[in-house]
Amino acid sequence: MAIDSNKRRSKRFPFESLKTEVEFGGRTIPVRVADLSQNGVRIAMDEEVDLEQDQEINIAVGKISPNIRARVCWSKNREGGGREVGLEFNSFLLIPPATDESASLVSAWNDLTQSYTLMESFIHILHRLDTDILDGRITELSDVLYNITHWLDQQVGPLNVWVVMAEGGGLARSQMLYMQHDGKGYSLDQRNHFVDRGTPDEAVRWMGEIAFIRGGNIVVEYLGGNNNYVDLLQKLVIFLSQRMHIWSQMLIQSIAIGLLGEELEHLRNQ
């Protein structure tokens, strides 16, 4: 498959000793990174694994466990056995935090609501996060989304947040990223199934008195009864979804530069 010309202009950094792992179909396979850019990676594996074009897999980049969802652009046999695979990065995997300590950023944002409207406060928070990510003070996208959700829950809640992940065959699988409230009589499985059945072009869907508000792969489950907040959350979720894509690219570039520095240091010490 031909690569987009814009992606070809992305600077690729070769690696000799960087090893990591990929995850797909319930399997975890060790691989070697051949080269890396902010848009994707070329990997080599010893196993002759069948990978289809556009198949989505998870890969660990700068972490021990897989942290980025990527798409297979091409795959070919290597001389001497094994496969070489070109992957295009899609987004960071978003996983629930282990403890509520991940909401540590929220206290620094509370002063904003004293001086600005809710929408203005939200925009200021996005700008602060831009700077924190650019400066390397934030390295986990899951923490960013969890903190913003926690802040929104304080301001316009009660609400929970789901993250939708694409699966093979056009199916969707969702998981709860932020859960602080029960489902007004609906079980977790019922709400999970309801989120899975939604489509990206359905901005708001109702399950009884619960509004499910979607922007990109983020779904806010709003359990309050204020229709004005439903309209406001539609705007905020769209802003957040667009910004999450930008932050993902910023973090991937930062990780790639950090790994390149480690590789140069390794080569100097040989």
Domains annotated for the chain, with CATH where assigned, are 5-93 (2.40.10.220), 100-253 (3.30.450)
Averaged pLDDT, 137-164: 90
Place of tokens 């074009």: 53
> CA–CA separation, 228 vs 176, rounded Å?
24
Averaged pLDDT, 13-30: 84
Q: Summarize pLDDT for 173-207 with one digit per residue, the tens.
A: 888 989 999 999 999 999 999 999 998 889 999 99
Mean pLDDT over the full length of the chain: 85
Asked if 68 and 61 touch (Cβ cutoff 8 Å), the reply is: yes
pLDDT of residue 102: 56
Percent above pLDDT 70 for the chain? 91
pLDDT of residue 1: 38
pLDDT of residue 171: 67
Q: Summarize pLDDT for 218-244 with one digit per residue, the tens.
A: 999 999 988 999 999 999 999 999 999
Averaged pLDDT, 59-88: 88
Place of tokens 């992606």: 7
Residue 4 in this model has a pLDDT that exceeds 60: no
Residues paired with residue 161 on neighbouring β-strands, in sequence order:
178, 220
Q: Summarize pLDDT for 78-89 with one digit per residue, the tens.
A: 888 889 999 998
Asked if 238 and 231 touch (Cβ cutoff 8 Å), the reply is: no
Q: CA quadruple 182, 185, 186, 189: dihedral positive or negative?
A: positive
Q: How many CB atoms lie within 10 A of CB 100?
A: 10
Among 58, 24, 57, 18, residue whose Cα is nearest residue 36: 18
pLDDT of residue 100: 55
Which two three-digit tokens encode residue 10?
A: 């992305």
